[in-house]
Chains A and B, each alone.
Chain A
Amino acid sequence: MVSSQEVRKVEVPENVKKRLSIPFEENFFAGHTACQGCGASLGLRYVLKAYGKKTILAIPACCSTIIAGPWPYSAINANLFHTAFETTGAVISGIEAALKARGYRVKGEDGIMVVGWAGDGGTADIGLQALSGFLERGHDAVYIMYDNEAYMNTGIQRSSSTPYGAWTTNTPGGKRHFVEKTHKKKVIDIVIAHKIPYAATASIAFPEDFIRKLKKAQKMPGPSFIQLFAPCPTGWRAPTDKSIEIARLAVQTAYFPLFEYENGRYRINMPSTKKEPKPIEEFLKLQGRFKYMTKDDIQKLQEWVLKEWEELKKKAEVFG
């Protein structure tokens, strides 16, 4: 094993660095306090690789508050602004406005990147209103929702992004089969309803695709939104060395397809375009959170996944 500090010491020729599809630059350091196998921390690392230290990050109360480190420490080599749970959209609006008032170029290739980095609870639930305001007003900033499908920081409670059939601490199964009874909220559809220039899904299993989308979001004027699939081994009751595999299977089963919405056009990205979706069981079986699912539950989830997948394909066909 090589630590990230040691990696940074490795001499890599400049011409090689330039050709790397994932930037060599490191602005998220070892010593952070994420759980083993944390998808969110990997995602944050990629964000800071893509945008560099000229980034101003706003993070609401969530796992990443802890991950970044308590005072007086910080694992993040960029401006970091901690804010209240539901305010990410509003705070990045304020930061963007202030930077513009100070005469800075915001967004664009050489602009300062103002980035909201919030979980699914902080985005799809309590932060939805502020998100909507941010999108609707057209601020030049990027909002990234790292989707670990529950309130993980408070101890694994369901959010509107939790999938059907999942165990969480407040959908505990039990004798009455009290598991999550509603399907995952399609936040990105709500985002797209704002007709912003750019929205995309991404996954930590496909970092090159994620980096490409971050770079595209940087170039696009106005608000951009990326929903990043970020497994949480702790909350998903999964082995810590399976995060990438689970994230990959989420894409391969079409449970979490990769796509982009760009100026009104939908495009499904590799590898979601490649093959017919794998059965949903392959995604489910690696995770303890789905252990209470009956055959009927699995069938119901499978049907939902395929229905949503067909709908997305139709959108890509009609608005491609």
Chain B
Amino acid sequence: MPMKKVLKGNEAAAWAAKLAKPKVIAAFPITPSTLVPEKISEFVANGELDAEFIKVESEHSAISACVGAAAAGVRTFTATASQGLALMHEILFIAAGMRLPIVMAIGNRALSAPINIWNDWQDTISERDTGWIQFYAENNQEALDLILIAFKVAEDERVLLPAMTGFDAFILTHTVEPVEIPDQELVDEFLGEYKPKHAYLDPKRPITQGTLAFPAHYMEARYKVWEAMENAREVIKEVFEEFERKFGRRYQMVEEYRTDDAEIIMITMGSLAGTLKDFVDRKREEGVKVGAAKITVYRPFPIEEIRALAKKAKVLAILEKDVSFGSGGAVFADVARSLINEKEKPMILDFIIGLGGRDVTFKQLDEALSIAKKVIKEGVEKDIYWIGLREEIL
């Protein structure tokens, strides 16, 4: 029988790793993710997880050691956030390019400067082009589930790409919630043993990995990563279905909430989706035709699902905790990209919100909603808004 435990998001992630039975874990402490490897080292110390735990001297070495271990043919796991993930940046491309299905838990945190340890998504969003699959969890249960799902998708032979699962700093990493821990036997059945055919430094069968590729060959290798990420769309859906059959919890690329008949659909990711659903309930009571949508999988971006969603509404209002300076929010750009060649498309607004751990309140969401209402009548004058700025200290 699955057991229920009251767990912090970080603990839920550590439990997911334990259930997945990685053979090598390499990690370095960073707020807010420190507890993930800490908890895993307890599992290893108590003999509950049979794995080599490498206590590296930086995140750069954490991911490098994972790359080495994955290339030597074992399931590997690590966790980090923010500056740590930024330090890994260079190696993230290598992990994807070498098709190593490493899984990483991220406590989504803002980037310096100024120094800030609280939540936004700038860390993972900034790694969107590295070739890693990206999941965003709404709560601690999702953090656990989406790590197990990440392993299954990453290791699928049609995919073979690394994957990261993000869950919001402090809002989830340090907040306790009841979490259902699946049975080990069911997880074993779900994941199976990792037996790579492609990346395996086998002493009996010498191969070269990560070699120099001239212009005559490089582009094809990059295309194969593109193709794998495209394949991941179907694989993720299959895995979501299998997960639901086995564990009873349903996941979708994009989860819609009260979107039928909605004029305005507010789109977000991560824990903000929980706040947003409550907000939508409140507004529905007031008779406002508003719905919500949560993007669970950000890479590959759910293009088809966004197209279907767009058919339902007059305005798509994106609420996102990241920014690409000189352009706008990253999710906004992806949503716009999904709709650009559609004949009929809604107006799209982008709301940069909750950076560096600023609480997202109903008041802020109301502000975004009223702008969305306004454009239905008046059209779009401006498409990027910063919500909740304290004008008095600007």
Residues on A close to B: CB < 8 A? 53-54, 56, 58, 65-66, 68-72, 74, 76-84, 86-87, 89-95, 97-102, 104, 112, 129-130, 132-133, 136-137
Chain A contacts of B214 at CB under 8 A?
A: 70-71
B349-360 CB mask vs A (1 if < 8 Å, else 0) is 000000000000
Assembly CA distance A176 to B59 (angstroms): 42
Say how far B322's CB is from chain A's closest CB, in angstroms.
Answer: 26
Chain A contacts of B207 at CB under 8 A?
A: 79-80
Is the pair A70, B211 in contact by a Cβ cutoff of 8 Å? yes
Is the pair B209, A97 in contact by a Cβ cutoff of 8 Å? no
Assembly CA distance A81 to B100 (angstroms): 13
Chain A contacts of B52 at CB under 8 A?
A: 97-98, 100-101
Chain A contacts of B51 at CB under 8 A?
A: 101
Is the pair B210, A81 in contact by a Cβ cutoff of 8 Å? yes
Does B323 interact with chain A (Cβ within 8 Å)? Answer: no
Say how far A50's CB is from chain B's closest CB, in angstroms.
Answer: 16
Say how far A238's CB is from chain B's closest CB, in angstroms.
Answer: 26
Assembly CA distance A82 to B67 (angstroms): 11
Given the interface pairs A70-B211, A97-B24, A102-B73, the reply to whether A81 lies near B201 with Cβ below 8 Å is yes
Main secondary structure of the interface of B (DSSP, over half): mixed
Does B188 interact with chain A (Cβ within 8 Å)? Answer: no
Say how far A130's CB is from chain B's closest CB, in angstroms.
Answer: 5
Assembly CA distance A144 to B52 (angstroms): 24
| Contact for B208 among A82, A91, A93, CB less than 8 A | A82
Is the pair A90, B206 in contact by a Cβ cutoff of 8 Å? no
Given contacts A72-B217, A94-B26, 17 further A-B contacts (CB under 8 A): A53-B206, A71-B212, A71-B217, A80-B209, A81-B68, A84-B91, A87-B91, A90-B62, A90-B65, A91-B65, A91-B68, A93-B56, A93-B68, A94-B54, A94-B68, A98-B69, A98-B76
Given the interface pairs A79-B201, A87-B64, A101-B24, the reply to whether A56 lies near B54 with Cβ below 8 Å is no
Does B304 interact with chain A (Cβ within 8 Å)? Answer: no
| Contact for A79 among B60, B91, B202, CB less than 8 A | B202
Assembly CA distance A143 to B35 (angstroms): 32
Chain B contacts of A133 at CB under 8 A?
A: 56-58, 61
Is the pair B57, A95 in contact by a Cβ cutoff of 8 Å? no
